[in-house]
Amino acid sequence: MSSFSTAERVERSGQRPLTSHDPRRLQLFCGNANPDLAREIGAYLGVPDGPRVIKRFADGELYIQIQESIRGCDVFLIQPTCAPVNDHLMELMIMVDACRRASARQITAVIPYYGYARADRKTAGRESITAKLVANLLVKSGVERVLAMDLHSSQIQGYFDIPCDHIFGSPVLVDYLATRNLGEVVVVSPDVGGVARARAFAKQMSDAPLAIIDKRRSGHNVAESLTVIGDVTGKTAVLIDDMIDTGGTICQGAKLLRQRGASRVLACATHAVFSPPALERLSEPGLFEEVVVTNSIPLPPDRHFPQLRVLSVANMLGEAIWRIHQESSVSSMFR
């Protein structure tokens, strides 16, 4: 995706630049989940991260105060609900409540990674559909619009009873792969449920062929790969998924692709959840040539490994924020 300067955005949209006297000016605030990403987004927009206080009382309760007037402003709160999920979710809702009580014109929750997304339906009796519960909590807290990236399943967008803009990290991944000399590529879905995602990714990769790994689960975070549907012999296999959690699914898929004759194997995912023992699995010598993820979830240096490549989605999120503020099309970014 192209990176636009503020001047180019103003020229393209026909709007004047934002000023501190604009009554509906754009304001950015971030929580503690991913401040580095928030700073990158602010740099793209030319809007600094707003001043706020976030602290804990002795008993662990959160205290948040917005430290400047936001009356009549378009406020965007940048907070992925990554681990620790409950802390970051509660922090987001308290920020929303503080902005609502400060008379913000509109409050948009920018959620690069949506926690609890995998609990999007009932697979057994007496289970919670937690993805819907979290959506309800956010709406009740005062969120008026959501900007999310690569939700685990498309139906989650409909769980919100407010506008929800759903964008994708694939353009950033595809642009990076285009700079690599990958030879003959086959895009691989690690399971049947990810076929639609892999098909869309393959189309962006100059209509690359598609392969599917037939996989069955015997429990949560436990996967058993069975066979590959499609030809991967002598090709560069690009495994694509929305997230990598423990790494079991994608690593078993990579081993199977190697057994079926793939010459090179790369893994691509938007969200690097990387729960233990993901780092040990992904960094296994001779398994992946490269593991490409985005910074939707922060990855400190001690969670990096030689095969890892982290790409920034700040410009894409910044452009989406700008378009929401200017009340222009977000979906046209992906046409």
* Cα-Cα-Cα-Cα dihedral sign, residues 74, 92, 279, 193: negative
Quick check: is 148 in a domain? yes
For residue 265, the domain's CATH number is 3.40.50.2020
Mean pLDDT of all residues belonging to the chain: 92
Over residues 283-287, mean pLDDT:
97
Distance CA 291, CA 297 (A): 15
Give per-residue pLDDT as tens, 292-324.
999 999 999 999 999 999 999 999 999 999 999
Quick check: is 1 in a domain? no
- Kindly report the pTM of this predicted structure: 0.91
The DSSP bridge pattern shows strands 185-189 and 145-149 to be unpaired
| Residue 15 clears pLDDT 60, i.e. is over it | no
Quick check: is 243 in a domain? yes
Domain shared by 183 and 303, yes or no = yes
Active site residues: 215
Tally of domains in the chain: 2
Tell me which of 227 and 144 has the higher pLDDT. Answer: 144
Minimal CA–CA distance to 155: which of 183, 202, 121, 122? Answer: 121
Give per-residue pLDDT as tens, 183-198.
999 999 998 889 999 9
Domain shared by 24 and 64, yes or no = yes
Quick check: is 237 in a domain? yes
Structure tokens at 98: 């503080």
Domain shared by 47 and 33, yes or no = yes
Domain shared by 271 and 228, yes or no = yes
User: For the ranges 14-23, 130-139, 146-155, 257-266, which has the lowest average pLDDT?
Assistant: 14-23
pLDDT band at 218 (very low <50, low <70, confident <90, very high): low
Domain shared by 13 and 135, yes or no = yes
DSSP code at position 287: T
Q: What is the residue-wise DSSP string for 119-181?
A: --S-SSTT---HHHHHHHHHHHHT--EEEEES-SSGGGGGG-SS-EEEE-SHHHHHHHHTTS-
| SS3 of residue 76 by DSSP | strand
**Radius of gyration of the chain from its Cα atoms, rounded to whole angstroms:** 21
Residue 277: domain span: 171-311
- Looking at residue 5, its pLDDT comes to 47
Domain shared by 238 and 271, yes or no = yes
DSSP code at position 72: T
- Residues 242 and 271: beta-carbon distance below 8 Å: yes
Domain shared by 113 and 201, yes or no = no
Quick check: is 278 in a domain? yes
pLDDT band at 217 (very low <50, low <70, confident <90, very high): low
- Looking at residue 335, its pLDDT comes to 77
Domain shared by 58 and 149, yes or no = yes
Domain shared by 153 and 218, yes or no = no
